[in-house]
Amino acid sequence: MISFIFYTTIPVKTTATLFVPPGSVSNIITQLSKKGYALSPIDTYLLVMMGKPQSGWITIGQTELNRIDFLHKLVTAKAQMVEVTLIPGETTILFLEKTASELSLNAGKLKKYFDRYSSFKEAGIYANTYYVPYGIQEKHLILFLTSQTDRKYRTLSEKVYGNYDEKNWNRLLTIASIIQKEAASKEEMPLISSVIYNRLKKRMALQMDGSLNYGIHSHSKITPERIRSDASRFNTYKYKGLPPYPVCAVSFDAIKAAIKPAKTDYLYFMKNSQGVHDFSKNFDAHRKNIRKARSAE
């Protein structure tokens, strides 16, 4: 008995965070022993009496505890969570590369699983901040992000339209993504939305730079040369109508603006010297706004 009591007081050195392997209690003790933890079969019995730990990364906090405290931590410690943020307007490919770097994951695998599980080629992950367990695998991360997104889209669509149709929602997300790229503020979004709908109604080409900020071009400056050379359907200077799918992740404000555009006759907008847009109903007024902006420069 004295030997047993003494054994329970022997300190266990650990790291501040610890990965609890999956499997039975005996497997957990065996695997931790192989990683250098001073554990023995006796700890298996002690841990069984305390409860079965959940597998995954947990936060221990201290780096040296007595044996009972260490085993208690294995059972009760909370999972270590990390923050993953997708900002509105960012493209999936750049988000996945950034996430892979931050979480030490494989960007290629993330992209593979996104293509497999996302309902949309772009905007399949809603722009938001997510908290996920440290050490999460590529497949599970993408499944979590896309399932959360699908649930949000479905709930919003059913609330507004009474149903959820992916084809119609893809069109809405495409409009929202252009709004996201073009608007200087959330207050401008309904106005930008009105221009898009007004031009579509008149069968005018959208002629919007933001549609060309797709994929790896997310942060590229759109030049006349780029407009001439880009032959994709995202070039709304060359092709009428909407691109085939969204160009970036979208915020709730952009979706809201796509659902409910402002009621205007605007067909044009031009960024002024204050960094916001001047809107106009005809090309003559638009040309005046262009000259005014160039004069200010």
State residue 37 phi and psi, 5-degree precision.
Answer: -80, 135
Same domain? For 291 and 200 the reply is yes
Q: pTM of the entire structure?
A: 0.82
Same domain? For 129 and 196 the reply is no
Query: In this structure, is residue 149 part of a structural domain?
Result: yes
- Domain of 244 in residue numbering reads as 178-296
Query: In this structure, is residue 166 part of a structural domain?
Result: no
Distance separating alpha carbons of residues 117 and 78, to the nearest angstrom: 29
Same domain? For 107 and 144 the reply is yes
Same domain? For 38 and 72 the reply is yes
Is the predicted pLDDT of residue 134 greater than 90, yes or no?
no
Name the band, by pLDDT with cuts 50, 70 and 90, for residue 19: confident
Distance separating alpha carbons of residues 63 and 61, to the nearest angstrom: 7
Distance separating alpha carbons of residues 48 and 159, to the nearest angstrom: 48
pLDDT in tens, 190-222: 999 999 999 999 999 999 999 999 999 999 999
Same domain? For 101 and 150 the reply is yes
* Tally of domains in the chain: 3
Same domain? For 156 and 184 the reply is no
